[in-house]
Amino acid sequence: MCTVCGCGEGHAHTHDHDHGHDHTHPPGHDHGPFHDHDHEHEHEAGALHYGKGPAGAHVPGLSQARMVKIEQDILGYNNRYADQNRAAFAAKGLLALNLVSSPGSGKTTLLCRTATDLKERLPVAVIEGDQQTSFDADRIRATGVPALQVNTGKGCHLDAHMIGHAMESLELADEGVLFIENVGNLVCPAGFDLGEAAKVVILSVTEGEDKPLKYPDMFAAARLMILNKVDLLPHLSFDVEHCVAFARKVNPAIELIKLSATSGEGLEDWYSWIDARRQDALKSRVVALEAQLAAARKSLEG
């Protein structure tokens, strides 16, 4: 078993359905399988009792069946790994950004340029997600920055578990920036938290300006939209204002940077944005370290 696998957090309780009330837990409410409630119905984890009567309102008359209320997020499995990744990033003071877009938006070109420009002043590493080939990681490594290719095979997105494994193989310096280039796909990666500080969606002006409306989930999930290839705008009928209005329609808070990875226009805005996010990551690290220090002091005193 790998070091990131093996979390077996169970959140469940059973109850008979012959009581007259209902209760739900808010999302994120977390507790182990053996907790106690003072409700009057039974909670017996780890035991199976046949023949205790009808299973309840959903399926009257089934004497051998019982209902188990579990209230688990379908993405819970991924989210647990994402939380582990997030904690690992925080402990290192590492800023992790999840770059998402359609294929061909210029993610890799932007990353090569970014890696080249930033590597002198801060540690940069890249995880490249594609279905097949290591072409992209090869391009990044050519800039002198460590990169790891993750091939998803038939998969349409990176998940948090893959990132956990990738972190084992990639040298990640403290207080640096980790760029995760997701599989080129504006649909599936939207729902998968990798533990990143932010999703950055890249849209190039050679694509349709209506993409934020066509693929709203991704634009809703992203904190920043990069409008790439703006050097080509004079040759195109792309309407920037419309595009931004569409993006804000699905995500009123989305931030915007217009740039060209080829001409260099707008890159300073992108680097300033990264620096600001990195400050956030460093602050989180200070908080984590102070908590660690306080715990160590307490142990010493106790």
Partner 1 sequence: MHEMSLTEGIIRVLEEQAEAQGFAKVKAVWVEIGDLSTVDADALAFCFEAVRNGSPVAAEARMEIIRLPGQAWCMDCSRPVTVKQRIDACPLCGGESLQVTGGDEMRIKELEVE
Task: Compute the least distance from the CB of residue 209 to partner 1, in Å.
Answer: 14
**In this structure, are residues 228 and 106 in contact, taking their beta carbons and an 8 Å threshold?**
yes
Comparison of 27 and 234: residue with beta carbon closer to partner 1: 27
Task: Compute the least distance from the CB of residue 152 to partner 1, in Å.
Answer: 10
**Tokens 């009123």 sit on residue:** 252
- Restricted to residues 190-209, the positions that interact with partner 1 (CB under 8 A) are 190-192
Which residue from 41, 54, 75, 122 is in contact with partner 1, where contact means CB under 8 A?
A: 75
Rg (CA), the chain: 24
CA distance 56 to 62: 8
* Span near partner 1 by CB under 8 A; candidates 104-112, 173-181, 246-254, 274-282: 246-254
Is there binding between residue 222 and partner 1 (CB under 8 A)? Answer: no
- Restricted to residues 20-39, the positions that interact with partner 1 (CB under 8 A) are 27, 33
- Restricted to residues 100-119, the positions that interact with partner 1 (CB under 8 A) are none
Q: Which residues pair with 124 in a beta bridge?
A: 177
- Restricted to residues 146-185, the positions that interact with partner 1 (CB under 8 A) are 155-157, 159
Q: Which residues pair with 125 in a beta bridge?
A: 178
* Span near partner 1 by CB under 8 A; candidates 60-68, 173-181, 233-241, 257-265: 60-68
CA distance 245 to 254: 10
Tokens of 190: 């939207």
- Spatial strand order in the sheet of 177-181: 147-151, 124-130, 177-181, 95-101, 198-204, 224-228, 255-258
**In this structure, are residues 32 and 21 in contact, taking their beta carbons and an 8 Å threshold?**
no
CA distance 182 to 100: 5
Is there binding between residue 2 and partner 1 (CB under 8 A)? Answer: no
Task: Compute the least distance from the CB of residue 34 to partner 1, in Å.
Answer: 10
Which residue from 122, 170, 173, 213 is in contact with partner 1, where contact means CB under 8 A?
A: 213
Which residue from 5, 65, 87, 276 is in contact with partner 1, where contact means CB under 8 A?
A: 65
CA distance 235 to 206: 10
Is there binding between residue 88 and partner 1 (CB under 8 A)? Answer: no
Task: Compute the least distance from the CB of residue 213 to partner 1, in Å.
Answer: 5
Tokens of 288: 């984590």
CA distance 167 to 186: 24
Positions touching partner 1 (CB under 8 A) are: 8, 10, 12, 14, 27, 33, 45-48, 50, 55, 58-59, 62, 64-78, 155-157, 159, 187-188, 190-192, 213, 216-217, 220, 248-250, 252-253
